[in-house]
Amino acid sequence: MASDKVEFELVSPERLLLSDLVDMVVVPGSEGDFGVLPRHAPLISTLRPGVIRVFEGREVKERIFVAGGFAEVTPERCTVLAEEALPVGDIDASAVDQELKDLGEDLADAKTDEEKAAIAKRIKVRQAMRAAAG
């Protein structure tokens, strides 16, 4: 493997979405975004809803929305196990807007604290997805 690249893999529950040698990847960690370059210190992090940016040189080659998950970083590789992942260009903003409206109604109708918390989490993910879509 070229020492000036880092191997990046993005896996969702359905499939392997991306496996490539890249110059850098920026991941939305739960404590903030972090960049991964070759020879990065080992790290494991949870992810918050946000956008992974994959760099080729100084340019962003791909932008992928993730709803959450985990990232494992070694000096040679960054592996992201995403709860849900979708290329930013594939996000249908009007569909997300409708989902947010429906979830707002579901939240108003929720009876238990557990139900409210689950719906609030889904709303947070969809709000982040909507923000990624622009």
pLDDT tens by residue, the chain, 134 residues: 446 899 999 999 888 999 999 999 999 999 999 999 999 999 999 999 999 999 999 999 999 999 999 999 999 999 999 999 999 999 999 999 999 999 999 999 999 999 999 999 999 999 999 999 98
With respect to residue 97, please indicate whether it lies within any of the assigned structural domains: yes
User: Same domain for 96 and 82?
Assistant: no
pTM for the structure as a whole = 0.88
User: Same domain for 81 and 15?
Assistant: yes
Distance CA 32, CA 45 (A): 10
With respect to residue 1, please indicate whether it lies within any of the assigned structural domains: no
> Which CATH number goes with the domain that contains 37?
2.60.15.10
User: Same domain for 24 and 81?
Assistant: yes
Range of the domain at 128: 92-133
Distances (CA, A) of 119 to 36, 114, 128: 32, 9, 14
User: Same domain for 64 and 82?
Assistant: yes
